[in-house]
Structure 1
Amino acid sequence: MPTFDLQGTRCQRPEGDADCGTEKPLVKPHIITAQGSRAATPPGLKRDVGRFARLTSLLASDERLVQERAEGIRVGLYRLYGELGSGNSATVRLAVHQLTTERVAVKVLDRAKLDHKKCEMLTEEVASMERLHHPNIIRLYEVVESPRHIHLMMEYAPAGDLERRVSREGPLTEADARSVFSQLLAAVQHMHSKKLVHRDIKAENVFFASRSRVKLGDLGFSRRVSGIGEHLTQFCGSPSYSAPELLSAASYRGDRADLWALGVLLFFSVTGRLPFDGASLAELRRHILAVRYRWPAGVGSEPCRELVAALLQRDPAARPSAAEAGRCRWLNGHPPPAAGRSLSLRAAPVTAQEREARARLRQLGVSETTLESHRRRGCHSPVTGLYRMVLHRVCREEEESGGSGKQLWLRGGDRCKQCTIL
């Protein structure tokens, strides 16, 4: 059967497989619990087997669950719900992991719409997300493939995106804008330190995990460069956020284009409108090339305006780097969040969070040996996806409890237990 190889660029158009449909989210999603299911224990499976093995067996043997998988309602260990957004070749849906009850955002790509170029971009997107470990960048948990679709299982940010928030509630206060911008700057600085450029920074790609925590997402146009000063030639991203050199030069530096887009984003956050507009693309292009924008009267402090002016400079070389922008007067006293440590399934756990995550996996029947055996599969392994999800939950619990280490309890049946909430 033809497959899509995320390590290369091969993409063929398969046949068969049912479509996912457009099912609406349910208020109470159906979860296969740890202690039981409507189905009896499959023949040959011990009743005291781990929850992971029991769920895997049920998904393969229970007629109803097999049918739901054929209908595209279930994919791997996830159950899919309603649509969160859509694009030319992909939709984003809400899903629930059936073992952890964790909600995830699923980017669903139709293989039939993936030409060679889009396959290369998908490979680059997955590779970029695999290299990044930062509290302000959307995390990739797992990649699940079916005959007709490819599913990227990603961290879900439930509070919407920046564009929607500003459109509904108006501009951010300068204090809120400073908090948001500081987090985004930290995310971009982390990307650039890994020799990655985003190339599609815009309000629609800034997601709120909570009222004050933001995540930079959608790395579909991201690119790894040989050096941060490497020049690129592909035009991509939203025209309103495009740097002048993308519109006038044969090549551009991706990191400097990212900093320009951050300047546009900051202006939008504090004013509620984009700095450059026009009745046509040609007029928009003229305004960007002339760096022609105007602040509304009484909006934006002098330090804030200074930072925007520094980022929106016609000459790319004159723009500050992400690290330099972080030392500006407006952000003084507001240090950005630190990057996370790259994690390995093979290395012995170093942090308390990793030790806790692995302890919870053992309670599910996933041993250290199993983790090691799935290491080579990377994001294509359901065990790797489970580990990343559990570790992310542990870190989130610690953050929400103020670092006290207090465990948060989940509602619902036997899942309301400390350290066994999965």
Structure 2
Amino acid sequence: MEGTSGWESLAAALSNYKLGRTLGFGAFGIVKEGRHKFSGIKVAIKILERHFINDLDDEKVKREINIMRLLSHPHIVRLYEVIETRPAIFVIMEYMDSGELFYHITEKGRLEEAEALHFIQQIISGVESCHLHKVVHRDIKPENLLLDSKGNVKVADFGLANIMRDGHFHQTSCGSHNYAAPEVISGSLYAGPEIDIWSCGVVLYALLSGTLPFDDGIVSVLHSKIKSGIFACPSYLSLGARDLIKRMLIVDQVKRISIPEIYKHPWFQIDLPKYIAVNLVNTPWCEKEIDIPVLEEMGVLGFNVQEVIASLNKSLQNQATVTYSMLLTRSLNSHGYDNDNLQESLSPKSMERREVYVRPIPPVHGNWVLGFKSSASPHETMRHVFALLKFLNVRWKKIGSYNIKCMWKPAVRSYTVPMRVHKLTLREDTTWNAPIKSSLKEKFSLYEDVKFEIQLYRANADSYVLDWQRVSGTPFLFMELCARFHACVIA
């Protein structure tokens, strides 16, 4: 903040907080320690000065804030409130007493397996919550994993995070080179969760060995090592730890282990806390149930309890709800997560862990997205897809092993769908009649070529989903082609 007026504006905006020392510096401002005047709770205040933020950066800042508002989990740094003024944006967050996991690794070197397992269980739990809320972090690394005074780790810094949408794939190369997945540094398309899992695998390796699986001072050489996927696991690691690392660091993202599979891994299940073993998304941490002791504490602080309840029910951001959020976070942090009160608050439904998710399925703006399931292997599935596309006169270009760009120019002719082709069952003797052909001939002449993308990704351990997304061309013809493909494939 430049000048006296700038600091006066800062003081006025942060009237509920007492500022302390500077914790760090960023591209758009600084992060300072603060203390909430009503509750006495320490906070971290990110001060983003607007004169450093251009229009593009402004969108990124808004996206980061919106993403943090989505997330409420014991292993994700909590966002308390956002205060916007003309000169700056103030992001008030949970304060983490013990700093970055990076420094913890640097000081201790390699960790004992029990401690490393404790950390990776909490990290995976936080990352899982991100994915269930349709968020991909894209920059998981020890510097972005913060520790509290009780030795619990929380995911932080969502500056590179993005929202996942079904049928929309990312191609942005971002994050730290040493922790980036092969598909990210190659500029290939990726859905999201699989790159966070790779980064978590690198973090786990670093926790257990004190070194990195892929490292080199020359970036091009480093990238080559990552793309090869060849690394050496220290012999002192247990077989279970080595197996999980190797499955998280598989170059082929379709074969890479998923989070539901990580939860089932024998090594990961060792001393797995109950609150992590179940789905925590619908617990009181999300503030869907009002915490009575916290409410009573607010009454002692001088708040009108009925007004607090009304504000919480309306999801308002005001002095009451911010204070409640801080007190609730402190209460859960202080009492621990794996306690009787937390377990009793879990409904039978919430005790069932979600198994089926890889990518979210919200509506895609402006595009049609369809999917077909396959229980065959990825290579078998793609081989049969190519055979059917050739039969349907579709031209394609391979972008990756399981990603292709396609173009279809409708042809006006009668054809007969052939009989069975291995695992993709085809219907026999389906011939279009003359009236339909005549009608379609008129329609085809009005439309341009249809361009679309196909991506194969893992749905669960036993099946894959073939995702179709229209890029250009009329929806009618795209649906027509999908109907022809579906006429050939009996799921």
User: What TM-score comes out, normalization by structure 2 length?
Assistant: 0.63
Instruction: Output the CA distance in 2 between the equivalents of 1:150 and 1:312.
Output: 38
Counterpart of 2:294 in structure 1 is 357
User: 1:376: how far off?
Assistant: 5.8
Counterpart of 1:231 in structure 2 is 169
Counterpart of 1:294 in structure 2 is 232
For 1:8-407, list aligned pairs within 5 A. 18-19=5-6, 69-70=8-9, 72=11, 75-227=14-166, 230-296=168-234, 298-335=235-272, 337-338=275-276, 339-341=280-282, 350=289, 354-367=291-304, 368-369=306-307, 372-373=310-311, 378-379=316-317, 381-399=318-336
Q: Secondary structure at the match of 1:316?
A: coil
Q: How far does the alpha carbon of each residue in 1:316-368 deviate from its partner, in whole angstroms, 9 at most, with x for none? A: 111111121121121123335342537699x9x745xx112222223333222
For residue 249 of structure 2, what is the amino acid of its counterpart? L
Instruction: Output the CA distance in 2 between the equivalents of 1:344 and 1:326.
Output: 21
For residue 112 of structure 1, what is the amino acid of its counterpart? H
Please tell me whether the aligned partners of residues 197 and 258 of structure 2 are also in contact (alpha carbons under 8 angstroms).
Answer: yes
Q: Secondary structure at the match of 2:124?
A: helix
Counterpart of 1:10 in structure 2 is none
Instruction: Output the CA distance in 2 between the equivalents of 1:387 and 1:204.
Output: 29
Counterpart of 2:345 in structure 1 is none
Q: Are residues 172 and 211 of structure 1, via their aligned partners in 2, closer, same or farther at CA, if it must alter by over 3 Å? A: farther
Instruction: Output the CA distance in 1 between the equivalents of 2:194 and 2:313.
Output: 36
For residue 123 of structure 1, what is the amino acid of its counterpart? K
Instruction: Output the CA distance in 1 between the equivalents of 2:187 and 2:9.
Output: 50
User: What TM-score comes out, normalization by structure 1 length?
Assistant: 0.73
User: 1:254: how far off?
Assistant: 1.1
Please tell me whether the aligned partners of residues 73 and 80 of structure 1 are also in contact (alpha carbons under 8 angstroms).
Answer: no
User: 1:403: how far off?
Assistant: 5.7
Q: Give the length in aligned residue pairs.
A: 337
Please tell me whether the aligned partners of residues 17 and 148 of structure 1 are also in contact (alpha carbons under 8 angstroms).
Answer: no
For residue 81 of structure 1, what is the amino acid of its counterpart? G
User: 1:225: how far off?
Assistant: 1.4
For residue 106 of structure 1, what is the amino acid of its counterpart? I
User: 1:17: how far off?
Assistant: 6.6
Q: Are residues 279 and 344 of structure 1, via their aligned partners in 2, closer, same or farther at CA, if it must alter by over 3 Å? A: closer
Instruction: Output the CA distance in 1 between the equivalents of 2:311 and 2:337.
Output: 33
User: 1:294: how far off?
Assistant: 2.3
Instruction: Output the CA distance in 1 between the equivalents of 2:272 and 2:312.
Output: 37
Q: How far does the alpha carbon of each residue in 1:36-74 deviate from its partner, in whole angstroms, 9 at most, with x for none? A: xxxxxxxxxxxxxxxxxxxxxxxxxxxxxxxxx556497
Instruction: Output the CA distance in 2 between the equivalents of 1:230 and 1:324.
Output: 24
Counterpart of 2:372 in structure 1 is none
Instruction: Output the CA distance in 2 between the equivalents of 1:279 and 1:344.
Output: 43
Instruction: Output the CA distance in 1 between the equivalents of 2:264 and 2:5.
Output: 53
Please tell me whether the aligned partners of residues 29 and 46 of structure 2 are also in contact (alpha carbons under 8 angstroms).
Answer: yes
User: 1:16: how far off?
Assistant: 7.2
Instruction: Output the CA distance in 2 between the equivalents of 1:165 and 1:230.
Output: 37
What is the root-mean-square deviation of aligned Cα atoms in Å?
2.8
Q: Secondary structure at the match of 1:191?
A: helix
**Higher relative contact order by CA 8 Å / sep ≥ 6: 1 or 2?**
1
Instruction: Output the CA distance in 2 between the equivalents of 1:239 and 1:394.
Output: 38
Q: How far does the alpha carbon of each residue in 1:199-249 deviate from its partner, in whole angstroms, 9 at most, with x for none? A: 11000011111343111111122222123x741122221111110001214
Please tell me whether the aligned partners of residues 144 and 155 of structure 2 are also in contact (alpha carbons under 8 angstroms).
Answer: yes
Instruction: Output the CA distance in 2 between the equivalents of 1:129 and 1:257.
Output: 20
Larger Rg: 2
For residue 308 of structure 1, what is the amino acid of its counterpart? I
Q: Are residues 233 and 85 of structure 1, via their aligned partners in 2, closer, same or farther at CA, if it must alter by over 3 Å? A: same
Q: How far does the alpha carbon of each residue in 1:285-333 deviate from its partner, in whole angstroms, 9 at most, with x for none? A: 111111132234x332111111111011111111111121121121123
Segments of 5+ residues of structure 2 without an aligned counterpart are: 343-491
Instruction: Output the CA distance in 1 between the equivalents of 2:121 and 2:40.
Output: 31
Instruction: Output the CA distance in 1 between the equivalents of 2:215 and 2:158.
Output: 25
Instruction: Output the CA distance in 2 between the equivalents of 1:244 and 1:340.
Output: 30
For residue 76 of structure 2, what is the amino acid of its counterpart? I
Instruction: Output the CA distance in 2 between the equivalents of 1:216 and 1:254.
Output: 16
Instruction: Output the CA distance in 2 between the equivalents of 1:295 and 1:163.
Output: 20
Give the strand-richer structure, 1 or 2. 2
For residue 153 of structure 1, what is the amino acid of its counterpart? I
Segments of 5+ residues of structure 1 without an aligned counterpart are: 1-13, 21-68, 406-422
Instruction: Output the CA distance in 2 between the equivalents of 1:210 and 1:234.
Output: 35
Q: How far does the alpha carbon of each residue in 1:381-409 deviate from its partner, in whole angstroms, 9 at most, with x for none? A: 3332111012222323433996689xxxx
Please tell me whether the aligned partners of residues 78 and 93 of structure 2 are also in contact (alpha carbons under 8 angstroms).
Answer: yes
Q: Are residues 400 and 326 of structure 1, via their aligned partners in 2, closer, same or farther at CA, if it must alter by over 3 Å? A: closer
Q: How far does the alpha carbon of each residue in 1:75-115 deviate from its partner, in whole angstroms, 9 at most, with x for none? A: 13111111112222232211111111100111111111112
Please tell me whether the aligned partners of residues 137 and 158 of structure 2 are also in contact (alpha carbons under 8 angstroms).
Answer: yes
